[in-house]
A and B are shown apart, each in its own frame.
Chain A
Amino acid sequence: MQTTPATSDADLQADNLRRAAIDKSVKGPVLFLFTNGAFWLMLSTLLGVLAAIKLVEPTFLAGCPYISYGRLQPAHINALVYGWGLQAALGVMLWIMARRSGQELRTGKSLMLVAGVFWNITITFGVLAILMGKSTSIEWLEMPKFVWPVLLGCFLCYAWPIARMFGRAFRPEGFMVSTWYILAACFWFTWIFITANVALHCLPSLGALGAGIDAWYIHGVILLFFVPVGVGAAYYFIPKITGKPIASAQLASAGFWTLAILGGWTGMQKYMGGPLPAWMSAVGACTGVLLLIPVGLVGLNHHLTTLGKHSAVATSPTLRFVFFGALFYPVSGLILALNSAFWTGAGLQFTQSWYSFQMVSVYGFFSMCVFGAIYYIVPRLSGCEWLSVRLIRNHFWFSVYGVGTIVIMSLVAGWQQGADLNNPEHWDQNFMNHVINSRPYVVSRAVAWALISFSNFMFLIHLLLMVAGLGRRSSAPTLLYSEHDDHASPAHA
């Protein structure tokens, strides 16, 4: 997957210059997206703490009607998905695509910056509107109606140049896995986003079918946007840092196409047993389980690629984040399968396991991969190295333990809620047992989000310092568990 190592020094020099020119051309938009994304991530995690507290103790800050759970939770999710997730994803996509296709970003840079500014202004209005009581209550599309055309336009300002770069590049025949995932993510997101918004905002009324389309949209954004970007980044960085090619091109290709074929079918099993025609949720449930195939193929491939290189996981911050992110991918597939199969899904339906799935895919898998990518990309754009090993290490451990806690606790809480709901002893009783039994899990969720907020605060400060050009002046990258050795040659440029 890598470019062939240059043999002579002159070639190496030319190669480095070419990479530097590419980095310079995308510097503005990428750093803009990362910093703004990090601010939204910070906000989203704080809203997550608050929402969890309000779910246990609704009298907390009861005087303020803007922050009831019903408004906080959508604000928290929307800030995470559109504020952080999409922005960070676009930054990573743009950089990887530029590097992989060997193309400088020639035109459209100012348009990208303008689109980025508009994106952030629109999300700000959208999230404020949810808190002020203008929510649409359509899950993941709670922001008011006016938001989506702006977001779509801004997204295309990035997606189109990314696709153009791919088109202009010299393309040897064969499968170029990371760029294909990224190109497909641009393609899928546009399609899914337009479909869901037209159906839910423009068509007259879709009743229960609208709810099904919304569930399809959520699964689509996760499986056909966040997952491809995360997997694409993992396929790019793992070989890059371990110095080994991807273990199997066939596995990579099979993993991609099974995801492409299955991804669009799943989602409506969220309302299994509901008013939708039964075949819709049955198809969704079936593909939800079958998606274990692409998950397994990608997981196996990553495992084979990192085999024997685990020491690099200990030293390289990028590889460590990406490696653990890639580990969360099979976990997310497993939770999706548990939620989807009628056997287990009937118990987990309408419980916190739904939140568990969203968090393991958006935070555990996607965000961890993107953190890794950011730790790699930013030094190359800002011209300085990360300041502090301790900050990176803390960010890593708090994130891993935090998101692990949220995912496990929400899943167990979902099992508990399902068991309570279907407990015959509760038939003629009120919801007291359900509410009280699920409290401890929500408390742990609040604590975990607080830890994550703390780690994100460190990440944000660190990133801001880097973007301001106040990083370490050195030619050696910041590695964990090793003294900074300025004589060591950079392992990877």
Chain B
Amino acid sequence: MNFRTFILGLAASFGLPWLCLIVLPAMKYQQLTPVAYDKEKDGLDGFYPPAPVNGQGQLVYIREGCNQCHTQMIRPSQLGLDGWYKGWGQDQEGRPTVAVRPNVLRDYLGEKYALLGVQRIGPDLANYGWRAPEASKLHQHLYAPRSVSDWSSMPAYTGLYKLQKIQGPASNRALNLPKKFAPPAGYEVVPTPEADRLVEYLLSLKKDHPIPGQSAVAAAPAAAKK
């Protein structure tokens, strides 16, 4: 075997998977568009997926490397119990009647890079918007995770919050913190715009929209409730 056949062999053996796994799927992906719901069959209006992600908030999520510990991907039941976890979908009951549907390609449409996650050290966030507490509580969770759960291994994102001296009346945006985590007297902690964007993003995470044409199972809880 000479040099030429060697290089040709390398190019052929690597070129085939490169073409099949990367190039063709990437070209095909560009043609992926939102699909319209059928009012008759799905009982819903508009498009799936309905809205683009909150890009500004996602940038903060990306910057802080949240995906190192949080996935955004619900697996089908044969691979894991993700779909049955309490609060991991729209149904917030302890024993959901129907498993949350696994995620599909269109759920991440319009995202530059889907943050599927590196490890699952914390809970999955694909549908976090459904179970998230109100914004002020979420701010408290981000500022002092251990004020919510004392076993938490989540970092405290104090850098996203501003410690400021109370001048005049206290800010209505100031975090309501338990004593152990509260700032010194005369000071208050308020979210920066970045923290607000991050919280908006987290509250918007609802990747279990019913899929057009498959509404019989997936849309059942959505139709039943509210």
Contacts and interface: CB of A to CB of B under 8 A. Distances in A.
A392 to B, nearest CB: 35
Contact of B122 (A211, A355, A431, A439): A431
Nearest to A134: B63
Contact of B79 (A54, A65, A261, A273): A273
B29 A206 contact: yes
B102 A273 contact: yes
Contact of B155 (A58, A267, A428): A58
A283 interface: yes
A55 B153 contact: yes
Contact of B95 (A68, A188, A421, A427): A427
B35 to A, nearest CB: 15
A215 B22 CA distance: 11
Contact of A68 (B2, B14, B94, B157): B157
Contacts of B75: 272-274, 346, 349
A174 B2 CA distance: 8
A436 B153 CA distance: 9
A275 B106 CA distance: 8
Nearest to B6: A180
A432 B149 contact: yes
Contacts of B18: 191, 195, 264
A430 B79 CA distance: 20
Given A55-B121, A187-B10, A435-B152, A135 B73 contact: no
A206 B102 CA distance: 19
B48 to A, nearest CB: 14
Interface residues on B, range: 35 or more
B26 A199 contact: yes
B13 A260 contact: yes
Given A59-B156, A280-B21, A207 B108 contact: yes
Contacts of B17: 264-265
B10 A184 contact: yes
B38 interface: no
Nearest to B75: A273
A70 B65 contact: yes
A173 interface: yes
B205 interface: no
A184 B13 CA distance: 11
B43 to A, nearest CB: 24
Contacts of B104: 275
Interface residues of A, number: 93
Interface of B: 1-3, 6-7, 9-10, 13-14, 16-18, 21-22, 25-26, 29-30, 32, 61-69, 71, 73, 75-76, 78-81, 84-86, 94-95, 102-105, 107-123, 145-146, 149, 151-159
Given A55-B121, A68-B157, A350-B117, A208 B107 contact: yes
A25 B18 CA distance: 37
A210 B114 contact: yes
The 9 closest A-B pairs by CB, nearest first: A70-B65, A65-B159, A264-B17, A350-B120, A273-B75, A68-B155, A207-B108, A428-B94, A273-B79
A273 to B, nearest CB: 4
A208 B14 contact: no
A414 to B, nearest CB: 9
Contact of A137 (B32, B115, B153): B115
A203 interface: yes
A136 B154 CA distance: 20
16 contacts: A68-B64, A68-B155, A137-B61, A137-B62, A183-B6, A199-B22, A206-B29, A212-B25, A216-B22, A265-B21, A274-B73, A275-B73, A275-B104, A354-B118, A417-B120, A435-B121
B202 to A, nearest CB: 14
